[in-house]
Chains A and B, each alone.
Chain A
Amino acid sequence: MMHGTDNNKSPNEEQRPGANPKAAHRLASDSPNCAEHQVAWEDEIRLNHLLHHLPDAPLPSNFTARVLSLAEQEADRRTPSALPGRWQSFTQVLLSMRWSARLAILSAIVAIGLVSVYQYQILARQEVARSVAEVSSVASLPMDVLMNFEAIQRLPEKSREVDVELLAALK
């Protein structure tokens, strides 16, 4: 019932029942004796007309603007700032300078870094030397002093300071 018998129909007409009213009318007029087919085709045409003339759903005028706003928010969310604010402004200032100024600033930064590393190494060596000196002074003590070392170690910090004085006196 959906598909007619007209061999001259285009493939599109063949696929979409009643999509082309002219073709349907032609089909109906070609077979006037077939009243049932004619009525069926007329129903198809009218149904198509009804469906095509259904009113559009209500849509607010700012729909596109709202969608674009959501999309922009999504784009901002997915593209985090590559650099923190202060670092970004620093790099912007740096990039705005001449190349010689940029080179001088970068050299100063590198020099400060190297000096800091050197100072840290000196401090670390001094700490090691102090530890070795303390251990060597303890090693020179007589064995009877070291017999109570564990008990002395367990004493509170304040008491230990007194004991250090005592050890010095014993020397």
Chain B
Amino acid sequence: MAANLDPDAALMLRVKQGDMAAFEELVEKYKQPVMNLLFRTLPDATEAEDLAQHVFLQVFKSAHRYRVSAKFSTWLYTIARNLCLNEIRRRSRHPADSLDATHPENEDQPVRQYEDTKNALPPDLVLRDELTHKIEEALASLPENQRTAILLFREDEMSYEEIAKILGCSLSATKSLIHRGRETLKLKLKPYLRTGVWQETKSR
């Protein structure tokens, strides 16, 4: 893939030459999408933020090895997901922070919920919105690969092929993950989808 087909790859080639302005441009462009992905995978906003910084630092460190073989965003999200999985593994090795622990009241539910995260946020943020809360809960209940696939799918220009590369699985498996994830979400959000409450949500 030629660098001129992907402006981000062209920027990354400039980063490879030590251009900090190009790196800043990439960070500015991707900080929010990367943070959105990490925030909905890790339960803690501060940890997600630290990890997002680490993702971009890793991009900078790996710049000298960068080859234009795929879209920059694919490479970036692969790094983000790998670091995120490493963090989840690290946490799972410590019982106090275990993500595998079941909910004290409902053993079918994971202990990882977004309530704690939301308590750490300013009270007038989106978490006061019941519908948003329900969507976040539904997303959090999905298996990691389904959730990541759904969140990447949410990115406007992310194709099935790119998502498959990031997840490291086949195209058909990726389509299946997204389909199953969406079906689960539709099932969990059915009352909200049918009542049309979604029309009242704030637009970004």
Contact = CB atoms under 8 A, between A and B. Distances in A.
Given A68-B23, A74-B60, A51 B135 contact: yes
Interface of A: 2, 15-17, 42-44, 46-47, 49-60, 63-64, 66-68, 70-72, 74-75
Interface string B15-30: 0001010011001100
Contacts of A56: 32, 35-36, 204
8 contacts: A43-B186, A47-B186, A52-B154, A59-B52, A67-B56, A71-B56, A72-B20, A75-B20
A67 B27 contact: yes
A43 B193 CA distance: 6
A70 B204 contact: no
A57 B154 CA distance: 14
B121 interface: yes
B160 interface: yes
A9 B132 CA distance: 31
A161 B171 CA distance: 94
Interface in B127-163: 131-132, 135-136, 150, 153-154, 159-160
A67 B18 contact: no
Contacts of B45: 57-58
Contact of B49 (A15, A47, A55, A60): A60
A57 B118 CA distance: 11
A52 B179 CA distance: 17
Contacts of B53: 63, 66-67, 70
Interface residues of B, number: 50
Interface in B97-144: 121-122, 125-126, 131-132, 135-136
Contacts of A44: 182, 186
B169 interface: no
A43 B186 CA distance: 7
A60 B179 CA distance: 34
B131 A50 contact: yes
B65 interface: no
Contact of A51 (B24, B28, B126, B150): B150
A75 B57 contact: no
A57 B127 CA distance: 11
B35 A71 contact: no
B8 to A, nearest CB: 16
